Structure 1
Amino acid sequence: MSTPFVTSSTAAGHAWIEEADCSLDDFRGQVLRPTALADYPHANDVRSGVLVYTAAGIANAERRAVQAELIHAFADGPGVIVIEGAFEDDVVDAASEAFRDLIRAQRAAGGAAGDHFGKPGANDRLWNAAQKLALHSPAVFAHYYANDALAMVSQAWLGPVYQVTSQVNVVNPGGAAQVPHRDYHLGFVNEDQLGAYPTHMHRMSAVLTLQGAVAHCDMPIESGPTMLVPHSQKFAAGYIAFYRPEFIEFFAEHQVQIPLRKGDAVFFNPALYHAAGTNKSTDIKRMANLLQVSSPFGRAMESLDRGAMIRAVYPSLQAMQAAGRPTQDIRNAVVATAEGYPFPTNLDRDQPIGSLAPASQVDTVLAALAAKQTAEQLDAALRGQDERRIP
């Protein structure tokens, strides 16, 4: 399997993206190709070029083998996968009800939230949903983010620790489609600034984030599930080119949509061309939890008070531990809650004695669970850690 730093043949030799690199013919040659199921032995199906896995299938396979296959799929393959049955119905339903509570409270407070593509009121957008769920319903949060399918995919693309943020989006009947785009980081840089970033930064942006969405209801095609162009993440000039009319027209002609069932999850390379579809249904409020999973070495899009999240969720983690929940599931929930990277810090106070780095929040929480510390003891440890990090 090849490296995830895939480039188009023209841009590969240039220090900066040049006009000639934004060739629709080159893009067409990279994108209009089949996805061969034989190349992905753990996948169950290929639908419109998108790889489809089952949660049970990957759970019962050798973990590293599945993860190597997922890396290949995101980097050199179609760039997008679906995992059927990734989340259990009862877990999704509990989270959906909590999200609806939060949306109702947001409306009551007069805080209609818009997004990158829709004006306030066009849909229901719940920003910073991960922190809000943790504080509103800690047990629901803990069970939701204990999910091992999410952890397996995130670890494959980003490593053992990562930063989970999420935004809930509810698109009502008649909700309009988005314009095609790539995602964070360079996907959110102004067009007139993109050319100043050297080519290797265009390649690097895609390996700092994993995009995902969990279906919180059945999503037939008429409800407008995400439009995708498989293999489009491999086009090196894509962050600049997606603004151009000919690329937008190509997207409209060649995009595909995959229907989802409640609990299914889709994950994709952030450089994949995609856009939410139009909800043409008359009665489906399309709810998805949009996941942005970030490398510990980068900057996530949202700032979260992870200390508050840890304090809220810790008793639920203790309860899961006491009930005999697998250690891996509990670790998954901890990694999704706490900060897994110890830097930046104040090394005068937070010295890496006996190791290359001081303890991270994840280390502190896992140690507290292993020692069966009380919530008060963990709180004291977190406060001490915060004080050592003050400039």
Structure 2
Amino acid sequence: MTATAAARVWLRAADAHVEELREVLQTRTDRADHPHADRVEQQVVVYDAAALTAAGTDPDERREVQAEIAYALSDGPGIVVVEGAFAPAVVDRVTAAFNRMISDQRAAGMAVGDHFAKPGANDRVWNALEKLAVIDPEAFVDYYANDVVALVSTAWLGPGYQVTSQVNVVNPGGEGQTVHRDYHLGFQSPQASARYPAHVHRLSAFLTLQGAVAHCDMPVESGPTLYLPHSQKYELGYLAYWHTEFQDYFVDHHIQLPLRKGDAVFFNPALFHAAGSNRSTDIKRMANLLQISSAFGRAMETVDRERTVRAIYPALLARKAAGWDEHALANVVAASAEGYSFPTNLDRDQPIGGMAPPTQAALVTQALAEGASPEQLAERLAAQSATKRSH
């Protein structure tokens, strides 16, 4: 393969330049591309929920609306806001349930952190979807009957999608995040992301829809999320956002829209964004973060990989003792062990020191390097599996 061919397949962080991002951002959001929108504000397409759902009652028009939203998320600004997406009374009941979860976590001594804030600095509820279903099933049903969520999710992912959610509360004085992209590749280090070919960088954004529901009024001083419209179109973005010059550019050029309780934001996970700092003195800024996944992000067969690894580990130890090189051993681990950190229970399996917790494959590789016994590996695998169970 020539160097030119390799450059088409593999992306390098060294090739990321702010000038190229700036050129991508010269595109402006065209109101004419979004005839069902209420307006375009700071390059963001803004819809009125009542008008959107009314248009969605006719099957043909619903497809037109969804095509418009899909275009906005991919080739447009990468973000849409739906004002009044959730009824305030429905939001209030779910907020009460979320606050109970947070109180229970505190009472249990759980200092729950996220990928950016230190544990205890703000409040985070992982797997809020399942917890809400258990703690208040009536509220769950009323909340997720929402047709805006269904309309936008199907527009981006098609049918069969899976909803997960995390509650994030940034308390008064809480610091914001640094700019980033989201799941999948957005949760990988730049070194890990560089191992994936360019077409996977393009694919990653089409596997997930990011959303956020405002559970209180969010004036700018409370720190609603910062966005860089159209930045999802920058191919090197998963490698670039770690660079200081890109972070500085984001600080200088982001937009920030205030939200009202019940408003919803949906955005392409490749969009450059960051939660803002809460400069208010009395607003506990609560959002329900929706992470909606494609049905296609799953294998065809169910494989018990823990059982598989336990079975082959003695043979791996024997091959290592016989002089097999690390490359051959790594190939076997890749074929047998789970090489991805997710899905997991982020209450117990927290991504300390990075965006993603250790994988099963990393655990097996470490055990091989140490010469751990099969019994020791079995204990480690069982402990890791326990952290991943949802309850």
TM-score, scaled to structure 1: 0.73
Distance in 2, Cα, partners of 1:31 & 1:200: 21
Matched-pair identity in %: 60
- Structure 2 distance, partners of 1:80, 1:123, is 25
Amino acid at match of 1:73: A
Which letter maps to 1:38?
A
Match of 2:51 in 1: 57
| SS across alignment from 1:218 | coil
Q: What is the aligned partner in structure 1 of residue 80 from structure 2?
A: 81
In structure 1, distance between residues paired with 2:13 and 2:118 = 33
Contact kept? 2:159, 2:295, Cα under 8 Å = no
Tell me what 1:47 maps to. 41
1:209 to 1:11, Cα distance in 2 relative to 1, 3 A: farther
Q: Alpha-carbon deviation of 1:194? A: 1.5
Q: Where does residue 261 of structure 1 map in the other structure?
A: 260
Q: CA deviation at 1:275?
A: 0.3
Shift of 1:21: 4.2
* AA at the equivalent of 2:236: A
Question: How far 1:19 moved relative to its partner?
Answer: 5.2
- CA 1:302 to 1:140, structure 2 compared with 1: closer, same or farther past 3 Å? farther
CA contact under 8 A between 2:13 and 2:240: conserved in structure 1?
A: no
1:18 counterpart (3, 9, 12): 12
**What's the secondary structure of 1:34's corresponding residue?**
coil
- The corresponding residue for 1:353 is none
Q: State the one-letter code of the partner of 1:34.
A: R
Distance 1:282 1:256, change over 3 A: same
For the structure 1 residues 49 and 13, does the alpha-carbon distance in structure 2 shift closer, same or farther, using more than 3 Å as the test? farther
TM-score (norm 2): 0.73
* 1:180 Cα offset (Å): 0.3
Q: CA deviation at 1:302?
A: 4.2
Aligned partner letter, 2:252: E
CA RMSD of aligned residues (A): 1.8
Instruction: Give the aligned residue type for 1:25.
Output: E
**Amino acid in structure 1 at the alignment position of 2:87:** E
User: Which whole-Å CA distance do the structure 2 matches of 1:13 and 1:269 have between them?
Assistant: 25
Which residue matches 1:114?
113
Shift of 1:201: 0.3
Cα separation, 1, equivalents of 2:9 and 2:64? 35
Residue matched to 2:31: 37
2:41 corresponds to which letter in structure 1?
Answer: R
> After the TM superposition, which residues 102-251 of structure 1 pair with which residues of structure 2 at under 5 Å, given as runs?
102-251=101-250
Q: What secondary structure is seen at the aligned counterpart in 1 of 2:9?
A: coil
The change in CA–CA distance for 1:284 and 1:12 in structure 2 (over 3 A counts) is farther
What SS does the aligned partner of 1:87 have? coil
Over 3 Å counting, the alpha-carbon distance change for 1:103 and 1:121 in structure 2 is same
CA distance in 1, matches of 2:154, 2:106: 36
Q: 1:11 to 1:171 in 2, by over 3 A?
A: farther
The question of whether the paired residues in 2 share the 8 Å contact of 1:113 and 1:124 is answered with: yes
Q: Which amino acid aligns with 2:133?
A: A
1:264-310 deviation per Cα after TM superposition (whole angstroms, max 9, x unaligned) = 00000000000000000111010000000001111695458xxxxxx
In 2, Cα distance between equivalents of 1:252 and 1:152:
32
CA distance in 2, matches of 1:16, 1:233: 18
Paired AA for residue 181 in structure 1: H
Q: How does 1:350-369 map to 2 (within 5 A)?
A: none
Distance 2:239 2:154 in 1: 29
Q: 1:239 to 1:19 in 2, by over 3 A?
A: closer
Q: Which residue matches 1:298?
A: 297
Q: Shift of the alpha carbon at 1:33?
A: 3.0
> For this pair of structures, how many residues does the alignment match?
295
Q: Distance in 2 between matches of 1:249 and 1:40?
A: 31
Misfit runs of 4+, over 3 Å: 10-13, 18-21, 299-304
Mapped partners of 1:152, 1:21: distance in 2: 38
Task: Please say which structure displays the higher CA radius of gyration.
Answer: 2
Q: Is the 8 A contact 1:79 1:231 kept in 2?
A: yes
Deviates further, 126-135 or 30-39? 30-39
Contact 2:13-2:236 at 8 Å conserved across structures = no
* Amino acid across the alignment from 1:56: A
Kept in 2, the 8 Å contact 1:42–1:53? The answer is yes
Query: What residue is the counterpart of 1:67 in the other structure?
Result: 66
Would you say the 8 A contact 1:165–1:302 is kept in 2?
Answer: no
Helix, strand or coil for the counterpart of 1:14? helix
